[in-house]
Amino acid sequence: MSLTFEDVQAQVDRYISQFKEGYFPPLLMLARLTEEVGEVARVLAHQNGKTPKPGEDVGDLELELADLLFVMVCMANERGLSLEQGFTRMMHKIETRDADRWTKKDA
């Protein structure tokens, strides 16, 4: 299955729109985003040498990254932003600004 940013944003909006509460306020979403980044950090630490606490799950990086993405999509939707447009702009920025920043592989 292949999804576009537009598909993802619409799917999240359909889900959130079924609830009276709607999207969380922006600062609460920022707190949720920070929490999810911490969970990504915990999984990466466990995968790279840190021993989990007794009874603590090592974690699922794919799921934690998806949780992070969900909150980012919620933030974009709440603000009426297009992630596709933002991603396209960001890629243009790094492809021009950083074009010679890194050593390219030989063809």
Q: Per-residue pLDDT averaged across 5-28, rounded?
A: 97
- Where residue 57 falls among pLDDT bands split at 50, 70, 90? confident
Under the banding of pLDDT at 50, 70 and 90, the label for residue 53 is confident
pLDDT at residue 83 tops 80: yes
| Cα–Cα dist 93/95, whole Å | 6
Write down the pLDDT at residue 107.
82
Structure confidence at residue 96 as a pLDDT band (50, 70, 90): very high
Query: What gap in Å lies between CA 78 and CA 88, rounded to an integer?
Result: 20
